Amino acid sequence: MAERERPRRLLRLVQEGRLDLLRDELHPEDIPEARSRRWGRLGDTLLHHAARMGHRDVLEFLVRELGMDVEVANGDYKRPIHEAASMGHGECVSFLLERGASVDCLKKADWTPLMMACTRKNLEVISSLVEHGANPLLRNKDGWNCFHIASREGHPEVLRYLLDVSPGIWDTESTIRRTPLHTAAMHGCSRVVELLLERCHYRPDSRDKCGVTPFMDAIQNGHLDIARMLLEKHQACPTALDALGAQALHRAAVTAQDGSLQFLVAELGVDVNGRATSLRIPALHYAAKEGHGHTILTLLSLGADLQAQDGKSRSALHAAVAGQQAEATRILLRAGLRDTPDGSGTLAQQLARKPEVIQVFQESQVTT
């Protein structure tokens, strides 16, 4: 039993940074196994664990005295330098680089140590990697470079540094044609958006592969400060269409961003009954299909036409029942919308599947 517990004890000492006890525990005959031993699903070595936890002295002991390879990879092709960079452990990164670790090695999905470092606001680590030759323009399998990653994380200080060392780094798109401006707007990184608008040269209303603009990203995620910034400083168009012909209005209805709907209609004057796609679908239908009862009420308060039909003569009630949305169905019925002009219940018979939706219609027939 003691022999079986021994590897676990070694791992715990490495994770806790107990170098003194680790030296005492390791006998010469144990070194070959300790050097090659793997842990967990991905097969991390002691070196991976020491780098992840930021124990420079343990890392140095494992490399110098046990002879472990600084380029050892786990099942995701992640090296110790990936671990140290991703956790912001500057001393560990510096030691591994001094020992010859490849600065641009790739883990699964083609992430470099610099990309990993840009998930954190640690300029010491980022600058150390760049100074040792890391290429900031490399892209992972999704087409993101480190600038794109830092934009998502909301680190203007990191972005300023990257722009200083590589002025053209901002001019990048992912494989689905999303820019760092899209990403920052989507994630609500207002300070980053401000910096990107000041120092970079993105086209107003640049579209990703789905036709989504940064303004749409901000609106459908409820980031109104960013939406205002894009309108004032980047001439964004609030009624631009995506690849399917939907506006920011329709996308906000899908994501239940009532504040965004108020902003678009009450402040910007966007038509609340504007239609999307070749099927001419109103925003009210989108909210109904998704079951956003409070958004239905918001749209109605903003003047949405309760009786509006799409290009296939379907009402918002059709959309709610087709989506099996009981509460949305109830709200629309209470607002006065009926499945057929004579209230015969055809829609309920044809589309209602869930017992809760069927019950809503039964209740409606009793009350009427």
Please measure the distance between the N-terminal and C-terminal CA atoms of the chain and give it in whole angstroms. 76
Residues 6+ apart with CB under 8 A from 232: none
Q: Are 101 and 71 in contact (CB under 8 A)?
A: yes
For 287-299, how does the pLDDT look when each residue is reduced to its tens digit (9 = 90+)? 999 999 999 999 9
Q: Concatenate the DSSP letters of all residues of 122-147 into one string.
A: -HHHHHHHHHTT--TT---TTS--HH
Residue 226 has phi, psi (to 5 degrees) of: -75, -40
Nearest Cα to Cα of residue 233 among 292, 190, 263: 190
| pLDDT for the residue numbered 366 | 52
Q: Are 294 and 258 in contact (CB under 8 A)?
A: yes
Structure tokens at 172: 């990048």
Distance from C-alpha of 297 to C-alpha of 260, rounded to nearest angstrom: 14
Residue segments in the chain with a per-residue pLDDT below the cut of 50: 1, 342-343, 368
Report helix, strand or coil for 268: coil
| pLDDT for the residue numbered 152 | 96
| pLDDT for the residue numbered 316 | 94
Q: Give the DSSP letter of residue 110.
A: G
Residues listed for the chain: 368
Report helix, strand or coil for 282: strand
pTM to 2 decimals? Answer: 0.90
Looking at this protein, which amino acid is placed at residue 4?
Answer: R
CATH topology of domain 1-135: 1.25.40
Q: Are 314 and 281 in contact (CB under 8 A)?
A: no
| pLDDT for the residue numbered 1 | 35
Looking at this protein, which amino acid is placed at residue 27?
Answer: H
Place of tokens 């610099």: 114
| pLDDT for the residue numbered 4 | 65
- Ranges in the chain annotated CATH 1.25.40.20: 1-135, 276-368
| Sign of the C-alpha dihedral computed for residues 20, 22, 24 and 29 taken in this order | negative
Which H or E element spans position 276?
strand 275-276
CATH topology of domain 276-368: 1.25.40
Residue 73's alpha-carbon distances to 44, 80, 105, 206, in angstroms, are 8, 8, 10, 39
Distance from C-alpha of 148 to C-alpha of 139, rounded to nearest angstrom: 9
